[in-house]
């Protein structure tokens, strides 16, 4: 199995959007943030041999990282068909460079997240990992992603602006989810969209690690 440093190097080589869609807030998860989140999940036994969704996958940083760490299958979901062109090329290049078989463990769903349902999957989803839009263009789209994730899986890794922490906690609690841990990042937003004023602008971002409360642990 690859090391954390090897993981970060590999995902840093993945192609990003050349012309990101401003409306979709297509900012990539940077390699350092992605590798920390993925390694945290891997060390907890939540990636190897698991069925994972990379929700709003973009060019596939989180999902490809999960495959590299031994995921049984990854569902890549995104509304943008152009994202899948880059994603599939990223998988092909990674397979060739590191002599791996990843494409046969990948499923691609080109669909609006609002229209995703459990019927899109023929098996139980173990983990959802997502870096959703922060909601600066479409208000509350981050909450739509979060609520969809809570409907589909019992364990979630979800990135949100730290300024919304209290709202995220309230939303997850109302949906019978608890926060296991919050990973904090100074998330780099590169100057890829028209409204970006600086080459790199860092914002405070929280990765919520969430789990569903069930009847067996409610009263513990």
- 218 within domain boundaries: no
Nearest to 61 by CA among 2, 23, 17, 125: 17
Secondary structure string (H, E, C) spanning 119-147 = HHCCCCCCEEEECCCCCCCCCCHHHHHHH
Q: Could you tell me if 76 and 106 are in contact, meaning their C-beta atoms sit under 8 angstroms apart?
A: yes
- For residue range 161-211, list pLDDT tens digits in order: 999 999 999 999 999 999 999 999 998 876 555 554 556 778 899 999 999
Whole-number pLDDT of residue 160: 95
How many domains does one find in the chain?
Answer: 1
Whole-number pLDDT of residue 58: 93
- 217 within domain boundaries: no
- 135 within domain boundaries: yes
Whole-number pLDDT of residue 175: 96
**pTM for this model (two decimals):** 0.91
- 19 within domain boundaries: yes
- Which residues are paired to 210 by β-bridges? 156, 179
- 63 within domain boundaries: yes
Whole-number pLDDT of residue 167: 95
In this prediction, residue 3 has a pLDDT band, given cuts at 50, 70 and 90, of very high
- For residue range 87-103, list pLDDT tens digits in order: 999 999 999 999 999 99
What range defines the domain where residue 75 resides? 4-212
In this prediction, residue 1 has a pLDDT band, given cuts at 50, 70 and 90, of confident
- 220 within domain boundaries: no
- 37 within domain boundaries: yes
Whole-number pLDDT of residue 194: 56
Residue 121: CB atoms within 10 A of its CB come to 17
Whole-number pLDDT of residue 192: 53
- 105 within domain boundaries: yes
- For residue range 113-172, list pLDDT tens digits in order: 999 999 999 899 999 999 998 866 677 899 999 999 999 999 999 999 999 999 999 999
182 exposure class (CB count in 10 Å sphere: 0-12, 13-18, 19+): middle
CATH of the domain at 178: 3.40.50.150
Q: How far is CA 206 from the centre of its chain?
A: 13
What average pLDDT does the segment 3-29 reach?
86
Residue with tokens 């899109």: 120
In this prediction, residue 218 has a pLDDT band, given cuts at 50, 70 and 90, of very low
């Amino acid at each position: 199995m690859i090391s954390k440093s090897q993981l970060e190097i590999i995902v840093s080589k993945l192609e990003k959007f050349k012309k990101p869609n401003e409306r979709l807030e297509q900012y990539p998860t940077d390699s350092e943030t992605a590798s920390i989140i993925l390694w945290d999940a891997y060390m907890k036994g939540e990636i190897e041999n698991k069925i994972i969704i990379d929700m709003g996958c973009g060019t596939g940083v989180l999902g490809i990282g999960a495959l590299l760490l031994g995921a049984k299958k990854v569902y890549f979901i995104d509304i943008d068909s152009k994202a899948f062109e880059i994603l599939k090329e990223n998988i092909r290049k990674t397979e060739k460079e590191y002599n791996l078989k990843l494409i046969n463990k990948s499923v691609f769903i080109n669909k609006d997240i609002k229209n995703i349902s459990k019927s899109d999957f023929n098996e139980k989803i173990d983990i959802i990992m997502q870096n959703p839009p922060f909601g600066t263009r479409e208000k509350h789209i981050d909450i739509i992603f979060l609520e969809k994730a809570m409907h589909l899986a019992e364990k979630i890794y979800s990135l949100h602006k730290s300024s919304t922490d209290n709202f995220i906690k309230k939303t997850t609690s109302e949906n019978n989810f608890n926060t296991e841990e919050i990973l904090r990042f100074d998330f780099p937003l590169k100057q890829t969209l028209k409204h970006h004023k600086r080459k790199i602008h860092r914002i405070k971002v929280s990765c919520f690690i969430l789990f569903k409360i069930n009847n067996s642990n409610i009263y513990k």
